[in-house]
Structures are given as structure tokens and as C-alpha cells.
Amino acid sequence: MRPQLVIHGATAAHAVLVDQIPRLTADEIRRPSLLTGWTVGHVLTHLARNADSHTGMLLAAQGGGIADQYPGGPAQRSADIAAGAARDPEELLGDLRASIERLEATWDATSVAAWAHGTGRTGNAGEQPLGELVFRRWRETEVHHADLGLAFGWAEWSGAYVDHELDRTIHGLAARLPEGVALRIEAEGVIGAWVVEPVAAPRVTVRAPKHELLAWLLGRHARPDWPELAPWG
């Protein structure tokens, strides 16, 4: 079955990104992003090569095969990003737009049978079904758009993405908590709470709007009185 909901979310995130980037100057592309050691150009190049990596996995699945997301592994991924980060705005942004167009066209061309049975081999999560790959692309686009450090921040993440991601991220949270900490997470406006209790300990309550909670869970934000989490991803 075609994963229409996540395709719609990822396509909408692409549209928001593509709407902003034509206004970037050469100076803005060379300035530091919010990711240590990466400029805005590094992040944009990563988003382009990540799109191509998803296109490659989809094309292989359409033919009944399974492709690695980055055939050359982490070294290829890093080298491709470094090679493209300092390009002039026209080339860099044109590359990003073209990579997104290729990926979206490949989503459209993927058969129901491929969606039902196809997989791709990701760099950090192993073999995954094609529908999960679309969600991972959606995540990359939303999160790294905010990582550019421009007008779009985590508060601008789409509500649909936040709703999809919160449960998933909380599910793996126990291993990231400081030793001896149990947690109760409350999202403002949401009935109920998430309890993460790897040990018998007094619970620390973290309460905030959903967007802010997710930014904390993904390592993009924190309040001084919230527990410090181990790295995400």
C-alpha cells in the first residue's frame, strides 16, 4: 500500500524548504549552521545527497533488489557533503531542487507491489521497508531545515511531523536517560502522559508544548531544569 500520509508530509516539508532557499546569498551559505562543524552549505548538500540516496534505494526496490543507502558507506557520505558544501548558491540550490524532484518522481512511479514488499538498507538502522524510508526522509527535511539556523526553526516543524515523531522518539528514550532518573513527559494540550521508568526512582516531570518536547528529545533544545539526555540518533 502506498504510504500516502508520510509522502504528503515529506512533500510538504520539501515545498517549505524549497520556498525559502532561493533567497540565500553566498555569505549565508558559508556561515555556520546549528550543527557543529557544518556550514549552511554542508546541511543543504547533505539534504540533496540524502534525497539521492533515497532515490537509489527506491529504484533498486522497484527492480526487486535491495540497495545500500550510501554504497560507499560513511566515508562516501562525508566526502560528498564536503565536496559540495562550498558551491555557489545557484549550483548548490539547483542541485537540491533537482534531487528533490527526482525523489518525488520516484515516489510517484513506485508500484503498489514495491511499496508492499520493497526495502532499502539504511546507514544507521539496517534494512527498512519503503514506507519507513519515506518517514526517515520527512524527518531529515524537517529537522535539518531547522538546523540551517535561518528563519525556520523547530517551532515551525509541521504539526503532523511532530505528532508522528513524538511517540517514536519517546519509545527509545530509556537508554538515553541519566543514571537513576525516571521521567514523566506531559505535552500541553494532550490528555495523559508518557512515563519512562528504567529504574525505581522519583519521577522528574517534563511539561511543555509538543514542538518543544520534540526539540529536546532530538537534541535541539533544552531547559536548564530538564535532564540531560544522551545523544539522539
Residue ranges of the domains in the chain?
4-152, 160-217
Q: At the topology level of CATH, where does 4-152 sit? A: Four Helix Bundle (Hemerythrin (Met), subunit A) (1.20.120)
Grid cell in block for residue 201: 526512582
The mean per-residue pLDDT over the stretch 202-231 comes to 95
**Does residue 98 register a pLDDT over 90?**
yes
**What pLDDT score does 95 carry?**
98
**What pLDDT score does 233 carry?**
76
Greater model confidence, 135 or 197 = 135
The mean per-residue pLDDT over the stretch 205-232 comes to 96
Residue 215's contacts (CB-CB under 8 Å, 6 or more residues apart) are 154, 221
pLDDT in tens, 68-85: 999 999 999 999 999 999
How does 130-162 read in b/e, with b if 16+ C-beta sit within 10 Å? Answer: bbbbbbbbbbbbbbbbbbbbbebbbeebbebbb
pLDDT in tens, 134-159: 999 999 999 999 999 999 999 999 99
**Does residue 222 register a pLDDT over 80?**
yes
The mean per-residue pLDDT over the stretch 185-193 comes to 93
**What pLDDT score does 217 carry?**
98
The mean per-residue pLDDT over the stretch 168-184 comes to 92
Quickly state the pLDDT bin for 53 (edges 50, 70, 90). very high
Q: Angle of helix 89-109 relative to helix 40-62, nearest 10 degrees?
A: 30
The mean per-residue pLDDT over the stretch 25-54 comes to 98
Confidence (pTM): 0.95
**What pLDDT score does 198 carry?**
79
**What pLDDT score does 93 carry?**
96
CA distances from 221 to 7, 44, 100, 135, 155 (A): 27, 21, 28, 22, 11
